[in-house]
Amino acid sequence: MTFKIPLPDEFSFDLCMKFLQRSPKELLHRCTDNSVRKFLRVDDKDVLFELSPSKNQHLEISVLNGPVTEAQKNELIAYVREWFDLDTDLKPFYAMASKDRLLKDLIKKYHGYRIVGQPDLFESLVWAVLGQQINVQFAYTLKQKFVEKFGSKLLFDMDEYFLFPAPETVALLTDEHLLPLQFSRQKSKYTVLIAEAFANNQISKEKLRGLSLIQAKELLMKIKGVGNWTANYALMKTFRYPDAFPLEDAGIHNAIKNLKKLDRKPTLDEVRKAFKKYKGWEAYATLYFWRSL
Other beta carbons less than 10 A from residue 135's beta carbon? 9
Give me the torsion for CA of 154, 160, 164, 165, rounded to 10°: 70
Task: Enumerate residues 6+ apart whose C-beta is below 8 A from 281.
Answer: 92, 93, 96, 97, 242, 243
With contact defined as beta carbons under 8 Å apart, do 228 and 250 qualify? no
With contact defined as beta carbons under 8 Å apart, do 45 and 72 qualify? yes
With contact defined as beta carbons under 8 Å apart, do 162 and 147 qualify? yes
Between CA 149 and CA 185 the distance in angstroms is: 18
Give the bridge partners for 5, in sequence order.
59
Per annotation, catalytic residue among 46, 100, 105, 249: 249
Any catalytic annotation for residue 249? yes
Strand order in the sheet with 2-6: 2-6, 58-63, 45-54, 36-42, 30-31
Catalytic residues: 249
